[in-house]
Amino acid sequence: MRTQIKIDSLTLIGSRKNYSVRFKDGFNLISGPTSTGKTSILEMIDYALGAKSHKSYIEIGNSCSQVELVLYIGKEKYLIRRQLFNFTAPVIVEDWSEEKKRFRFYNRLEVDTPSNPKSLSAFLIEKAGFANMSISGQTFSFRDLYKYCYIKQTEIDNEDILGEKSWEKNFKRKATFEIIYNIYNKALEEFKASLEEKRNEAKDLSIRLEGIQDFLKNLEIENATECAKIEAGLKEELTDLQHKLAAAKADKGLDSAEATKLRNEIYGLKSKLELAREEKTAQSQYINKLRLLYNQYVSEIEKDELAIEGYVALSKFEFQFCPNCLKPIKKVEDPERCCLCGNERGSDSSEMILLKKDISTLQRKSNELLKFTEIEDRKYDELVRKENAIKTQLYESELELQQLSKDYINPYIEQIEYLNYEIGKKNRLLLELQKNLRMFEEVDRYRQLIVDKEATIQQLKDSIKNLTKNSVSKDELMQELSSTFGKILGAFQYPKLSSAYIDEKSYLPYVRGRKYDDIGSLAGVTLITIAYYVALLLVGVHETFNHPGILIIDSPRKNLGAQASKSEDDEFKDEKIFNATIKQLYEVAEHNKERVQIIVVNNGYPDFIPRECIVAEFDPDQRNGLPQGLVDDEV
């Protein structure tokens, strides 16, 4: 019944190169100091799985255009490709063909709510086994399910687990919890309604497939393999015809010394012409930059002149009210003093002197720049004349060669015409064949869609059967969750641990008899939050439940160990607590690696973590040959 999700790899498609991280079963750790791209890896996974947007990472924005996430959903392997910084662009999904050993196009999906059947969220939630399920009229989303799989750095100690303090979020949080553990009272009804919808969708796909197959019956080609063989043969014939055509055209008809000299001269002139054009373009761009600089000088001069004019114009006015606060100004009797500040007026004040000096400097620079630009303009004109001279010389040489060979008739002219005709014919056949090949590929795609739809139908049937025969005891479930939660906190070496349980009404964690947000220690909240998610994971991966089996944790050291905040209680500053937390996460993942994948991002790690579990490590100073960050070649 349970559908496991496992991350295989994340790749950022870059302009210079691609940046990839590969993951493994069990425990995965990403380590590195601040601002090396650790958290961005998790955010890119979240974005590929349907998050509305991502942060504006400078290095990623300067280097990358797309993100590709390869993951397993159940036994199927998919690639999700999404454009970066374009949050509404369609998402491409490809599925892995074991026969062809490559990914092939599966579907183009929209970034929308799961109520849209063509959305990424609808695709993911269907693959997870909850197609078309709703919660009080709201469509159950993959994002609701994924919240139980991802602890963000900003949420690990925010005393608001899964948004429980917001009424709307809390309602969906509890419903999602019940769906994961099969205690949602409307689950059976929702599964039955979804089953009927999926049967109708499967019928619709079958009708479309039948239409394409009827069209292909009129072709003499049986399948895509035969089509590919014919295509390869046509390409080989086309290459042979092109070689023959080139050989026929190679007969220039005139091999005299004078004609050969002219051909060599024409070749040299064409090279010179290309070089002259490049020089002219470069000079034109350089002159444009000079003119932009001159425009800046002129603009600065105008600003300074306007400031002087304003000073002179405003000095003629006598203000009775302050232009800032509009309160009356005490009258200044001396006309030589400013009516606003009371300072002595003067046409040669220090500000005026600086402005006039600045104008003088800018005028001198602009005049010098103007003279220099005129010199460069003359150079440009010379390059234009040079280009025109080469063009004229080239035209004359080509005309002379034409006069030498005008009476020559190529004996292969009929063969050339025939070869051109055959090449055109082969190209048309090749284009038609490629269209047919795409049709065969579309047939394969529809067949796969139908297979997947039938798998969804069977999954829904199994869910209905399981819910009908094996009702889950809520009391036993909460006891198991509470017991697991307490054991994990004990393994974390939580100080003065007592009365740790998960409340049967709110589904929230309690420690020392108090709700998690009433503990009074952010370090304690960090440990409780991690232990809570791990407990839900371990119990949820039983075959009768529906947890996806993946947990992503960002910065578990937060508030713990030697790096804890000075405001935290000393009882949480022991480095042993952090080491015990990482050790427990490692053991949970490795002992259950067939069903569980845990990905942890942190600055540093204990020595006992095996090297093969560190899937990415960064160092800004590139010590020990480590990359400086995720985007490791940003200048």
The token duo for 488 is 């994990």
Residue pLDDT, tens place only, 266-297? 888 888 989 999 999 999 888 878 877 877 78
User: How far apart are alpha carbons 441 and 95 in whole angstroms?
Assistant: 13
The predicted pLDDT at position 396 comes to 79
Q: What is the mean pLDDT of residues 583-587?
A: 96
The predicted pLDDT at position 564 comes to 45
The predicted pLDDT at position 519 comes to 87
Share of the chain above pLDDT 70, in %: 82
Q: What is the mean pLDDT of residues 398-412?
A: 63
The predicted pLDDT at position 580 comes to 93
How long, in residues, is the chain?
635
Q: What is the mean pLDDT of residues 60-82?
A: 91
**Of the given ranges (150-154, 315-319, 620-624, 628-632), which has the lowest mean pLDDT?**
315-319
Q: Are 531 and 492 in contact (CB under 8 A)?
A: yes
Q: Is residue 221 pLDDT above 60, yes or no?
A: no
pTM of the model: 0.64
The token duo for 530 is 């991690």
SS3 324: coil
Which residues have CB under 8 Å from 562's CB, separation 6+?
573, 575
Q: What is the mean pLDDT of residues 345-371?
A: 81
Q: pLDDT band at 588, cuts 50/70/90? A: very high
Q: Is residue 563 pLDDT above 60, yes or no?
A: no
Q: At what angle do helices 413-469 and 224-249 cross, to 10 degrees?
A: 160
User: How far apart are alpha carbons 230 and 224 in whole angstroms?
Assistant: 10
Q: Is residue 409 pLDDT above 60, yes or no?
A: no
Q: Are 72 and 4 in contact (CB under 8 A)?
A: yes
**Of the given ranges (329-333, 393-397, 622-626), which has the lowest mean pLDDT?**
329-333
Mean pLDDT of the chain: 82
Share of the chain above pLDDT 90, in %: 30
- CA nearest to 337, candidates 352, 315, 313, 321: 315
Q: What is the mean pLDDT of residues 447-460?
A: 75
Pairing of strands 91-97, 19-22: unpaired
Q: pLDDT band at 507, cuts 50/70/90? A: very high
Where would I find the H helices in 315-405?
Answer: 350-405
Q: Are 519 and 511 in contact (CB under 8 A)?
A: yes
Question: 214: how many CB neighbours lie within 10 A of its CB?
Answer: 9
**Of the given ranges (102-106, 135-139, 197-201), which has the lowest mean pLDDT?**
197-201
Distance, C-alpha 217 to centroid of its chain: 42
The predicted pLDDT at position 59 comes to 84
Residue pLDDT, tens place only, 462-479? 776 766 666 678 888 999
Q: Are 89 and 82 in contact (CB under 8 A)?
A: yes
SS (H, E, C) 175-240: HHHHHHCCCCCCHHHHHHHHHHHHHHHHHHHHHHHHHHHHHHHCCCCCCHHHHHHHHHHHHHHHHH
The token duo for 54 is 């991502």
User: How far apart are alpha carbons 224 and 144 in whole angstroms?
Assistant: 41
The predicted pLDDT at position 398 comes to 77
Q: pLDDT band at 407, cuts 50/70/90? A: low
User: How far apart are alpha carbons 36 and 630 in whole angstroms?
Assistant: 6
Q: What is the mean pLDDT of residues 14-35?
A: 92
**Of the given ranges (29-33, 80-84, 283-287), which has the lowest mean pLDDT?**
283-287
The predicted pLDDT at position 595 comes to 93
The predicted pLDDT at position 120 comes to 93
User: How far apart are alpha carbons 110 and 120 in whole angstroms?
Assistant: 6
The predicted pLDDT at position 264 comes to 83
Q: Are 276 and 344 in contact (CB under 8 A)?
A: no
Pairing of strands 550-554, 597-602: parallel
Which residues have CB under 8 Å from 618's CB, separation 6+?
31, 32, 33, 36, 37, 38, 626, 627, 628, 629, 630, 632
